[in-house]
């Protein structure tokens, strides 16, 4: 059904990373050729080119598996799909009867399944609010913080940009190549570039201004920029007066952050802060593209809010930056999720909502009146993270039974235990569960802790109707071009199978994903068969030009954060690490750098990629490497107050002295499996071992871990 025919061309989108490069796939003389959809911006990387190595890898899971021994020493045997779904449904039903539906928690990455909304639909009809996504450490939490300012996620218009401000991004042909071409095109038009990054990366070397700030001080820099723009009267008066509220309160707050104070905090020159602030304010169409760096800091909420505020006070919203809002036409993932099926008393049980309400149902409820005013029943679940449980609190509940037992967990298309801080707590939580189900391609460390592992299809093997997250105003279509391997199935097949077995067949009346796609498209008056040959179907904006905040304006002073008991204005708080002993932990550590040859925890299995970087490496300034007798290529141990990992040393002049930079998501698929064997190296190499999930290490609003701003470490040869 999916195999491409000779001479045929199909369109799809690579999801081997979150760059989402659009591709054209053609079969010529028996060979499948993939190429960039836009020949003028040939964005494609080696991960996509090597899709065959991935899909046909001998270690790929191609049949349902059941663990017949223990989680510490698992032994998996093949079973049929019917057996797997029957047993999972029976066990989950029994747990729901014993503990209530909230006993189920789910972590899902919709980009890896090709469809969004249906998992939340299953959970809402079952009655559990305990859903979260790895996007919480990514674009998902950014979207919720943007929403507090202007009601939606900010989108940059590269086509008009005359100034680009990058916070930590280092784009290349292997990391978001499509954006690399956008950057090159803008530079060729004469656009200026400001890069804020402690490291002198290749992208930073291209910049007109490179601000090498101290790790984790982004918020102080941004507040100083706002200070300069306000004090020097560089803001857009008309836009501020007509479109915003809270400017007086903002002006008072930023008086605390003159350039001299920020310069001392950030470790750069005050005049450089003034100079770059003026560059931004004097631009005609500046953009601050999204980047994950601001999402994992102790001051993450303030970083993201301050960026959104800058866009607003300088009048770039509606010119080079946009908050498009929800769209109508084909059903959104929010509509598909059917949140109305989840009773209020079950929403109130969402784990972590009491301490970190912004991304919970409590945060979502703050926008209900604004949505009713434009004729929509429920606020959009932007990027699947608008009504989520708190991950660290869920893992704790799995381990301890507080505030109530979480005994069942389903991991969908993500390596859950390796994706957050305090990996050990996540492992303990999984070990305490009575039912763990993992939908995967590989026997990942998370899958090794499962009772059932279900084989998922790949993006090359399915037709999809997207997008998987609600941000852009379009329905998107991606065509498969290779038959699913073995017994690999799409995610709708799994959800439908469980729903039918658990008495929720009325919530999933569609026999297969194609009937479901027709349901999604019925409001657009088109069938999937009529539309799928085009890459996208535009949808209408539900409220063009409106800001869906409680006030209807851009909120520089956030009424939502104030209502939730949080600081309504951005600030900078110096990270306070308990019991830090500089003699024991002299280095500052930065986690989460992405390797060119992998993405998060994936692709370490692929020979052509792994040979390029066979081992995890820690970047060390050459002077530090010499002082600590660390030769490039030698092995070392990096230790924080929470844990230790082992890495190979890479002496790198781009790395600031006194700092270390480690990769995210390292494990070795070739190593023995099972908890007693260290989960194939996950307990030895992954950055989640180094960082705790205690409140002191979390952003106080979002509750997400600080991985990139001020945690201390030591390094020693082994």
Fold of 587-717: Barwin-like endoglucanases (2.40.40)
> Which residue, chain included where needed, has tokens 């071992």?
689
What is the length of the chain? 718
Confidence of residue 579 (pLDDT cuts 50, 70, 90): confident
Place of tokens 């723009």: 229
295-341 pLDDT per residue, tens: 889 999 999 999 999 999 999 999 999 999 999 999 999 999 999 99
Task: Decide: 363 and 564 in contact? Cβ < 8 Å.
Answer: yes
The reported pLDDT for the residue numbered 285 is 98
| Cβ-based neighbours of 624, under 8 Å, separated by 6 or more | 587, 630, 657, 658, 715
482 pLDDT above the threshold of 90:
yes
pLDDT of 292 reads 84
Residue 408 host element (H or E): strand 408-412
Pairing of strands 554-555, 408-412: unpaired
* Sequence-distant (≥ 6) Cβ neighbours of residue 62 within 8 angstroms: 455, 485, 486, 487, 488
DSSP state of 704: -
Q: Is the pLDDT at 347 greater than 80, yes or no?
A: yes
On whether the CB atoms of residues 389 and 364 are closer than 8 A, the answer is no
> Can you tell me the mean pLDDT for 554-579?
95
Task: State the pLDDT at residue 293.
Answer: 84
Task: State residue 182's pLDDT score.
Answer: 93
CATH topology of domain 65-138+329-541: Rossmann fold (3.40.50)
Residues annotated as catalytic are 18
For position 526, what pLDDT does the model report?
96
The string of pLDDT tens digits covering residues 595-622 is 888 999 999 999 999 999 999 999 999 9
The mean pLDDT of 425-453, rounded to a whole number, is: 98
Check residue 576 and give its pLDDT: 82
- pLDDT at residue 338, rounded to an integer: 98
Mean pLDDT score, 657-682:
96
Does 3.40.228.10 match the CATH number of domain 154-322? yes
Given this model, what pLDDT does residue 710 score? Answer: 80
Element containing residue 475 per DSSP (H, E): strand 474-478
244-245 and 209-211 strand pairing: unpaired
Domain 9-55 classified CATH 2.20.25?
yes
Kindly indicate the confidence band of residue 523, based on its pLDDT and cuts at 50, 70 and 90.
Answer: very high
b/e sequence 99-113, b meaning 16+ C-beta within 10 Å = bebbbbbbbbbbbbb
Opening angle at CA 637, ends 634 and 643, nearest 5: 160
Q: For residue 41, what pLDDT is reported? A: 82
Q: What is the largest CA-CA distance in the chain?
A: 70
Q: Tell me what the mean pLDDT of segment 532-539 comes to.
A: 94
Give dist(CA 276, CA 271) in Å, integer. 9
Contacts of 611 (CB under 8 A, 6+ apart): none
Q: How confident is the model at residue 40 (pLDDT cuts 50, 70, 90)?
A: confident
What's the token pair of residue 234? 């560089």
Residues 480-501: what's their mean pLDDT?
97
82 close to 498: Cβ distance less than 8 angstroms: no
Instruction: Give the list of residues 6+ apart from residue 405 with CB closer than 8 angstroms, or none.
Output: 99, 103, 397
Token pair for 362: 């409590």
pLDDT tens digits along 357-393: 999 999 999 999 999 999 999 999 999 999 999 999 9
pLDDT confidence of residue 67:
98
- Return d(Cα 33, Cα 392) in angstroms, integer: 43
The residue behind tokens 């009529």 is 530
Could you count the other beta carbons within 10 Å of the beta carbon of residue 367? 22
Provide the 3-class DSSP secondary structure of residue 478.
strand
pLDDT at 488: 98
The secondary structure of residue 473, as a DSSP letter, is S
Pairing of strands 435-440, 408-412: parallel
Residues pairing with 448 in the sheet: none
Which residue ranges does the chain devote to CATH 3.40.228.10?
Answer: 154-322
Q: What is the mean pLDDT of residues 134-138?
A: 90
Containing 517, the helix (H) or strand (E) segment is helix 513-521
Q: Strand, helix or coil at 117?
A: coil
Q: pLDDT band for position 245 (50/70/90)? A: very high
141-156 per-position pLDDT tens digit: 999 999 999 999 999 9
So what's the pLDDT on residue 593? 74
* Region label for 357, one of left (φ > 0), alpha (ψ between -120 and 50) or beta (otherwise): alpha
| Contact call for residues 683 and 428 (beta carbons, < 8 A) | no
Query: What residues does CATH 3.40.50.740 cover in the chain?
Result: 65-138+329-541
Which residues of the chain are in CATH 2.40.40.20 domains?
A: 587-717
Strands (E), 514-557: 536-538, 540-541, 554-555
Tokens of 335: 């509509």
Q: What is the pLDDT of residue 50?
A: 92
Mean pLDDT for the chain? 95
């Amino acid at each position: 059904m999916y195999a491409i025919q000779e001479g045929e061309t199909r369109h799809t989108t690579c999801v081997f990373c979150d760059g989402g490069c659009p591709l054209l796939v053609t079969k010529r003389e028996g060979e499948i050729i993939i190429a960039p959809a836009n020949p003028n911006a040939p964005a494609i990387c080696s991960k996509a080119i090597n899709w065959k190595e991935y899909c046909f890898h001998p270690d790929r899971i191609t049949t349902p598996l059941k663990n017949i021994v223990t989680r510490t020493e698992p032994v998996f045997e093949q079973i049929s799909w019917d057996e797997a779904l029957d047993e999972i449904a029976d066990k989950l039903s029994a747990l729901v009867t014993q503990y209530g539906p909230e006993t189920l928690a789910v972590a899902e990455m919709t980009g890896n399944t090709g469809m969004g909304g249906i998992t939340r639909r299953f959970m809402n009809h079952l009655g559990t609010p305990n859903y979260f996504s790895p996007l919480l450490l990514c674009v998902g939490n950014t979207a919720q913080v943007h929403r507090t300012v202007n009601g939606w996620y900010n989108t940059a218009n590269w086509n008009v940009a005359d100034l680009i401000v990058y916070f930590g991004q280092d784009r290349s042909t292997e990391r978001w190549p499509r954006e690399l071409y956008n950057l090159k095109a803008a530079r060729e038009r004469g656009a200026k570039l400001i890069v804020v990054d402690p490291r002198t990366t290749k992208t930073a070397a291209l910049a007109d201004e490179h601000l090498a700030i101290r790790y984790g001080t982004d918020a102080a820099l941004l507040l100083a920029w706002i200070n300069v723009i306000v004090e020097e009267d560089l803001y857009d008066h008309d836009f501020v007066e007509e479109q915003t509220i809270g400017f007086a309160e903002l002006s008072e707050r930023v008086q605390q952050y003159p350039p001299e104070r920020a310069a001392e905090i950030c470790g750069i020159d005050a005049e450089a802060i003034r100079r770059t602030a003026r560059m931004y304010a004097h631009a005609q169409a500046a953009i601050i593209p999204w980047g994950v760096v601001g999402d994992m800091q102790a001051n993450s909420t303030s970083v993201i809010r301050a960026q959104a505020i800058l866009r607003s006070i300088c009048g770039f919203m509606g010119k080079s930056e946009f908050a498009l809002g929800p769209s109508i036409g084909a059903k959104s993932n929010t509509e598909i999720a059917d949140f109305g099926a989840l009773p209020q008393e079950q929403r109130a049980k969402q784990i972590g909502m009491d301490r970190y309400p912004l991304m919970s149902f409590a945060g979502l409820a703050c926008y209900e009146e604004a949505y009713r005013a434009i004729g929509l029943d429920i606020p959009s679940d932007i990027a699947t993270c608008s009504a989520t449980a708190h991950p660290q609190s869920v893992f704790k509940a799995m381990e301890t039974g507080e505030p109530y037992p979480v005994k069942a967990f389903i991991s969908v298309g993500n390596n859950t235990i390796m994706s957050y801080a305090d990996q050990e707590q996540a492992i303990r939580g999984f070990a305490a569960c009575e039912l763990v189900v993992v939908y995967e391609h590989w026997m990942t460390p998370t899958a090794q802790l499962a009772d059932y592992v279900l084989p998922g299809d790949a993006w090359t093997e399915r037709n999809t109707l997207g997008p998987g997250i609600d941000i852009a105003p379009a329905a998107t279509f991606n065509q498969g071009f290779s038959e699913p391997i073995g017994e690999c199935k799409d995610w709708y097949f799994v959800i439908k199978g469980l729903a039918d077995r658990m008495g929720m067949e009325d919530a999933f009346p569609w026999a297969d994903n194609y009937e479901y796609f027709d349901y999604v498209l019925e409001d657009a008056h088109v069938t999937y068969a009529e539309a799928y040959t085009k890459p996208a179907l535009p949808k209408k904006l539900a409220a063009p030009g409106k800001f869906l905040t409680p006030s209807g304006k851009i909120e520089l002073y956030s009424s939502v954060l104030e209502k939730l008991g949080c600081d309504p204005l951005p600030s900078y708080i110096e990270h306070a690490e308990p019991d830090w002993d500089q003699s024991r932990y002299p280095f500052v550590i930065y986690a989460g750098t992405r390797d060119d040859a992998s993405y998060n925890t994936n692709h370490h299995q692929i020979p052509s990629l792994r040979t390029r970087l066979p081992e995890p490496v820690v970047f060390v300034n050459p002077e530090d490497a010499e002082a600590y007798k660390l030769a490039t290529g030698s092995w070392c141990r990096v230790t924080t107050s929470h844990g230790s990992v082992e890495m190979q040393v890479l002496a790198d002049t781009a790395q600031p002295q006194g700092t270390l930079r480690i990769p995210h998501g390292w494990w070795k698929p070739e190593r023995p499996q099972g908890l007693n064997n260290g989960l194939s190296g996950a307990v030895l190499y992954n950055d989640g071992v180094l960082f705790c999930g205690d409140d002191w290490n979390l952003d106080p609003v979002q509750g997400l871990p600080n991985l990139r701003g001020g945690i201390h470490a030591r390094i020693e040869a082994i």
